[in-house]
Amino acid sequence: MEDLDLRSMEEARRLLEAASAAAPRLAALSQESIDGIVDAIHLAAVPRAEAWARLAHEETGFGNVADKTAKNLFAAVDVYRFIRPMTTVGVLAEDHERRVIEIAAPAGIVAAIIPSTNPTSTAINKILIAMKAACPIVLSPHPSARRCVIEVAGVLGQAATAAGAPPGSIGCMSQVALEGTRELMRHPLTAIILATGGTGLVRAAYSSGKPAYGVGPGNVPAYVDRSADVAKAARDIVAGKTFDNGVLCSAENAVVADAPIAEALRKAMTDAGCLFLDDAAAERLSRLVVTPSGSLNPEIVGRDARTIAGKAGIDSPEGTRALVVTLRQVGPSAPLSREKLSPILAFYDEDGWEAACARCLEILAYGGMGHTMAVHARDRDVIMRFGLTKPVFRIVVNTPSATGAVGITTGVHPSLTLGCGALGGNITSDNITPRHLINVRRLAFEIRGRPPETAGPPRSSAPAPVEIPPPAAAAPPPAAAPSGPERAGLRERVAAILRMRELPGRPSGTPPARPVPAATPPAGAGTAPVRAEPPGPDAPRPAAFVCEADVRQAIEENRKIIVSQRSIITPAARDMGTANRVFIEI
């Protein structure tokens, strides 16, 4: 074991060094090149979705192949389609009014912790968003999912390299041990952590001294209101709870039924494949699911309902999809009120949405704060009351919670990494995307008319502050168009300015002027802005701000843009304008 720890730590350092060598080269790639890498990963993952699902199921024993295939395709297709149009390289945005330019800066090397419950889909998801953000990534799989994650990382790493990613951009640990994972998270080369796993691992990520996006537990309650479509609510709850045998942290764990429809809901859930247990069977199930130390028994995680029932000595008919236990309390005295990561549901009756609200709060406080809950109702007022007050950051409405929270059946950002916000001990409440792996550099230009203010009168021992020059006068409001002799005089002045700057064309009706010989530019200055003598008081004012769109329009209209040393020109605009000799600098 000691040798494995040392090998794992050494491998983590080696993979981080390779990623460090790749980082500056990856960050220097264009948006087009990064998108080409993301395209290649998508194309490599899609045809292997079922094979990787089968490999994950065989290695871990969790879930089922069909639903794991669906999760792999969700990561390889839905997540890909969502992130593909994103701008993640270079200038992200230009705010002309506030005179601020936002520029992408990759966060750096990502340490990605991969769980055993959703190994291949989580690996695909994290590799895609890291490459889109131009960040190298090193994966640390759960020991029980080692082979399938190594397979995914190897195939997608080869696809990325063939598409132009530098070697070392995608790495995966094969010598998996706790000490190696800790070394990966704490190493100085690691910039940011994406942690998906148990509570202890997520806490270790946050205590590593690195910025970390962790996913907390999801003890998800599903409230069914008296206004709900009860049959659909039952189908949705069972579909969510049984999806991949309940291993998604966003899966339903408890049903809170409004009293007037509780019996109808029980019948509808029974019709959908639920087996409601009596008190004796519930007690046997509780002893199986939760160990004497209070932890979840790993032997039931991700297993189907009939397998779990058999382990507990419970007879279950053919077609049983979920086991349901009626509870009256929440907490250690009711072990099955916790997150179960299997097709087992707690069931509560509450009279009215206010009482149901209080019960949902109890359930969330017992291991699900900040994560997710579901509401099944047609009364908009009830829906909004839950939305405005519940301490979670994903409230899915009239849909399975397991699939709605990640974005399969709803419009939230598609992701398999779900933040739980400060309530869940997480740094964000978002579904994690490439934007969470990008820092934003801001160019902020002085806004005319807003000079900096002194903090107060200078102390007697300090020199007087430098006088701030008054702001430039605001441009006068547009006046009515001149006519008659005034208009003719204006045409003469404009014509003189155009001739002085060698602008093409002249106002009609003005005689041609003697050409002004152009100065021979010095060697190497063929693309410098054209300079002219300062114009008179009637000359057009130089542009205060020029962006790429302004330059494109000027090129299309075959005209020049007058600028000065005080003009703010974006980098893209300067490159294009200089190359096409658009600027006249005064």
- The residues assigned a catalytic role are 249
Neighbouring residues of 544: CB distance < 8 A, sequence distance ≥ 6: 448, 566, 567, 568
- Residue owning tokens 């990963």: 41
CA distances from 574 to 29, 32, 548, 570 (A): 21, 21, 8, 6
Contact 508, 492 (CB under 8 A): no
Pairing of strands 100-106, 91-95: antiparallel
Nearest to 152 by CA among 53, 247, 66, 21: 53
For residue 424, which amino acid is it? G
**Helical (H) or strand (E) element with 88:** none
Assign 3-state DSSP to the chain and report helix, strand, coil percentages, each to 5.
40, 15, 40
Dihedral, CA atoms, 50, 117, 374, 394, nearest 10 degrees? -100
Q: Rounded distance, CA 370 to CA 266, Å?
A: 28
Looking at the DSSP bridge assignments, the partners of residue 443 are: 101
d(CA 111, CA 139): 6
CB atoms within 10 A of CB 71: 28
Supply 472's token pair: 């430039």
| Enclosing H/E stretch for 32 | helix 31-45
Q: What is the dihedral of CA 208, 212, 217, 223, to 10 degrees?
A: 160
Q: Does the CA dihedral 525-529-531-534 come out positive or negative? A: negative
The answer to whether 116 and 66 have CB atoms below 8 angstroms apart is: no
Take residue 51 and report the two structure tokens written for it.
Answer: 């094979």
Instruction: Look at the chain and count its residues.
Output: 586
532 phi and psi angles, rounded to 5 deg:
-140, 165
Other CB atoms within 10 A of residue 177 CB: 22
Could you tell me the two tokens for 581? 């000799």
Rg over alpha carbons for the chain, rounded to the nearest Å, is 32
What's the 3-state SS for 524-575? CCCCCCEECCCCCCCCCCCCCEECHHHHHHHHHCCCCEEECCCCEECHHHHH
Q: How far apart are CA 475 and CA 266, in angstroms?
A: 72
For residue 229, give Cα distances in angstroms to 235, 265, 325, 377: 10, 10, 22, 7
